[in-house]
Amino acid sequence: MELITWTEIGIFWTSIVLALITVTATVINYFFFRTQIDPDVIVYVTPDVNRPSVILLVIENIGKGIAFDVSFSSNKSIPERAYGFKDAKVPQPMSSGPFVTGIPALGPGAKRIIIWGQYGGLEKGLGDGGAVNVFIRFKRKNTILPGYKWHDNMCPIDIKSFEGTDASDSNWERKSSEALQSAAKSLKNLSDNF
């Protein structure tokens, strides 16, 4: 009789351990699944490849889901239309665009690209205070329960990292187009002269 009791106890505890392993694996799989379908909105700064002295401010959803009601705030004002080099004027704080109005829905891989300015103007607008912390708030649809869940993100943006970088014109498509247009004009002039 005692042998049966120990066997039953062993089976009971084995079942408990297996149930815990199953629950743990299910939770891990759920979190992995969430990372594959959740939106993730970021803000970053990049140079414009077609206009080398221009710096762009980019809002992008790098996640796999739709981000709803995207809004932005920052620890200090973000300048807009900050053009110029050493003689640049101090630009005004941003007063229009997605940073001010927000974005109702931003799909997976979707971007908003803002022509931010040039190094000199942005440096005057941001000062020597370092990076601007942009706080992003958005919501996503819940998978199991109805409704939405809010997410917060923070991205530092700066201009100092562009100091001393290459801003030479390497837009070979535009240069090729200009060369072809010049050759076509020359050929037209030659044919008109004959």
Which sequence spans correspond to the domains of the chain?
Answer: 1-37, 40-164
CA dihedral 7, 13, 15, 16 (to 10 degrees): 170
Are residues 79 and 122 in contact, defined by beta-carbon separation less than 8 angstroms?
yes
Are residues 57 and 43 in contact, defined by beta-carbon separation less than 8 angstroms?
yes
Compute CA distances 162 → 46, 78, 83, 129, 133, whole Å.
9, 17, 15, 15, 17
pTM attached to this predicted model:
0.69
CA distance 97 to 115: 11
The pLDDT value given to residue 125: 82
Sheet holding 41-47, edge to edge: 41-47, 54-61, 111-118
Going residue by residue through the chain, which has 194 residues, state the pLDDT in tens, using 9 for 90 and above: 455 687 888 888 899 999 999 999 888 887 776 666 789 999 999 988 888 788 899 999 998 889 999 999 999 888 888 888 777 788 888 889 999 999 999 999 999 999 998 888 888 888 776 788 999 999 988 767 778 889 999 999 988 877 766 555 555 666 677 777 877 787 778 778 77
CA distance 59 to 98: 9
The pLDDT value given to residue 106: 94
The pLDDT value given to residue 178: 74
Which residues on neighbouring strands pair with residue 54, listed in sequence order? 118
Which of 2.30.30, 1.20.58, 2.60.40, 2.60.120 would CATH assign to domain 40-164?
2.60.40
